[in-house]
Structures are given as structure tokens and as C-alpha cells.
Amino acid sequence: MKAIGRHIILEMWGCRNLDSVDVAERALREMVDALDVTLLDLRVYPFSPVGVTGMAIVSESHLVIHTWPEHGYAAVDVFTCGAPRDPEAAVNVLRRLFAPERIGVMEINRGQLDLPDHDLTAAASSSTPAPRHTRTPAALSA
């Protein structure tokens, strides 16, 4: 399916190194390299008493990491446009730097492009076949 962007959502549990600004920065930079995106800006913010937030703005959108050391949990998002990126590239970096016991990965299309809009008017009045759908709209059976 064709979409404007792809959004990889990662959930990591049982992690190490979650309270380090340096490791968060390193994770973002290494993911940027591994995913072959163009870095525009990168900032990491420490939180009190624990935790960090890191954000990388890339020309292909963004990468972000939020950590909760008290839970051993980190949330990572990788949003890119253009050519699809392999989530595994990001996962490898994250495994190496945070050593999570468990990782969940979900991938979402952002800005779906290739699903046609359904046009009831055109289908009812022309002789062309009805658009292919899994269900037939009531108007077409009249």
C-alpha cells in the first residue's frame, strides 16, 4: 500500500541505560544513520527525578524517544516518508544500547494514498462496473 509516511511504534521493557542523556542521543544518531535519513536537529532533555526525552527532526519527519527508568520502559517512534525503512534497522540499534528484555513493534501507514474514494453517483448513473468493494452499497442494487 502506498502512503505518504510510515510510522514505526516501538515499546521496550526491561531496559538498561534509560536515565542517560548520552545514550538517548547516541540511540537517535545511530538510528538516523541506520535508517539513512537526514538529520536536521537533535535535542535530548533530562527529567527529574529520572527519565529522558530525545527528539530528532529529520527531513523525512522525526524520531523520538521517551524513557521511564522507574518502569524499565521506553517508547520510541520513528516516522519517515519517502522510501519505506526497515524497522529492523532501528530495532538493532535499540537492542544494542538498551538491551530490552521485550520489544513490541507496530507499523502504521500515515497519509494513505492509494485507496480510492467511493463515488456512489458515478456508479449509479454509468454503465461501467460497480467499484470493487467487499460490500455492495444499497443504491447499486436498485
Is 127 an annotated catalytic residue? Answer: no
Residue 36 is given by DSSP the state: T
* Binding flag, residue 53, a second copy (CB under 8 A): yes
Cis ω on the peptide bond leading into residue 49 (within 30° of 0)?
yes
User: In this chain, which of 34, 39, 42, 57 binds a second copy, going by CB under 8 A?
Assistant: 57
Examine the residue annotation and report whether 133 is marked as an active-site residue of this protein: no
Q: Does 138 bind a second copy (CB under 8 A)?
A: no
Interface pattern 4-43 for a second copy (x via CB under 8 A): xx-x-x-x----------------------------xx-x
Catalytic residue among 7, 15, 20, 66: 66
For residue 8, the tally of other CB atoms under 10 A from its CB is 23
Which residue, 2 or 126, is less far from a second copy as judged by CB?
Answer: 2
Kindly tell me which residue out of 37, 79, 100, 103 binds a second copy, with binding defined by CB under 8 A.
79
Residues 6 or more apart from 56 whose CB is under 8 A from it?
A: 28, 29, 31, 32, 39, 41, 42, 62, 63, 64
Q: How far is the CB of 65 from a second copy (least distance, A)?
A: 10
**Is the CA virtual torsion 38, 17, 10, 111 positive or negative?**
negative
Task: Give the C-alpha separation, 53 to 46, whole Å.
Answer: 7
Give, to the nearest 10 degrees, the angle between helix 21-35 and helix 87-98. 160
Give yes or no: 81 in active site: yes
Q: Which of 48, 61, 71, 126 is catalytic?
A: 61
Distance CA 107, CA 121 (A): 35
Binding site for a second copy (CB under 8 A): 4-5, 7, 9, 11, 40-41, 43, 45, 47, 53, 55, 57, 59, 61-62, 64, 66, 68, 71, 73, 75, 77, 79, 81, 108, 110-113
Query: Which residues are part of the catalytic machinery?
Result: 61, 66, 81
